Amino acid sequence: MAPPHQLFADSLEPSGTVAQGGTVEYAVVDVFASEPLNGNPLAVFLDGRGLSVEKMQAIAGELSLSETVFLLPAQRGGTCLVRIFTPTTELPFAGHPVLGAAFIVAESLQASAVLLETGLGAINVELERDESRLVFGWMRQPIPSPEPYPRASELLAALGVSASELPVELYRNGPNHVLVMLASPGAIQALRPDLSSLARHLGVAVSCFARAGDHWKTRMFAPSLGVNEDPATGSAAGPLALHLARHGQIAFGEEIEIHQGAEIERPSVLHARVTGTAASIERVEVGGSAVVVARGHYLVSSARRRAEA
């Protein structure tokens, strides 16, 4: 594997300001999809050096994707550091940003595995190729800790449902995911949540799911994080597999396939598996495909402002 510093172009002036006309190179990746215009779109800025946190947040807000990622030199021996922003806040970890960033980094280094440093530690991502093309990746996620959600009845009312088929529990995994099981895929499709009421559940992402034959159908709402409905939620997929295994819906070690995003015309497919036992979780893994759909340069400071500085 190439040294981590080879990821970054020599595009910064000594003062740390962004050079080359005030632009930063970026790519757009459709994550948890194998075809363009599906999955969850992600912007990956290839060199975040010289950008303040405020500038990163402003860019993420302007792009208004579920998340935007900025790559930075590694600090703890990984391949690189990733900083993840929703339109309104920074997250320590999120699934589709890590997987999408891994595709970009692995492509740059011609690597089969990368170690991405996040606010929840280093995340290993192993990638599969079809000849020279990256086609699939498995990330080993932090093991989430489940707990009862104390505002379950209020949450169910905001969703417009009377009950959950399994206990309503919260899993801390970057975003705080609350899981709600409904009786059928049709019940998931019919959801019309009160987003203003859901937004009062600060910092919470609500994942609703149901069995749909040989896979699981999900929808995720997180208006308090600036995401009304997410096309594909990698950080919820691991907790979902753990939730199902803990409550006897699947066996530990069983791989599940998750379908999400159809209601907002971004169909996505995620895979997840949890090994170990309820008393001793060994690992949580989430996988999927991704496709790079755009590359370009983003203007972050004008020539006039740089001259005034």
Burial class (CB in 10 A: 0-12, 13-18, 19+), 224: buried
Give the angle subtended at the CA of 31 by the CAs of 217 and 6, to the nearest 5°. 150
- Distances from the Cα of 89 to the Cα of 39, 48, 54, 203, 291, angstroms: 22, 17, 10, 10, 25
d(CA 233, CA 173): 12
**Is residue 289 within 8 Å of residue 127, measured between CB atoms?**
no
**Is residue 287 within 8 Å of residue 138, measured between CB atoms?**
yes
- Looking at residue 198, the DSSP 8-state letter turns out to be H
Buried b (16+ CB within 10 A) or exposed e, 184-221: ebeebeebebeeeebbebeebbbbbbbbbeeebbbbbb
- Of 75, 46, 100, residue with least CA distance to 288: 100
67 catalytic residue (yes or no): yes
Annotated active-site residue in 13, 25, 67, 147: 67
d(CA 100, CA 212): 27
Catalytic positions are 67
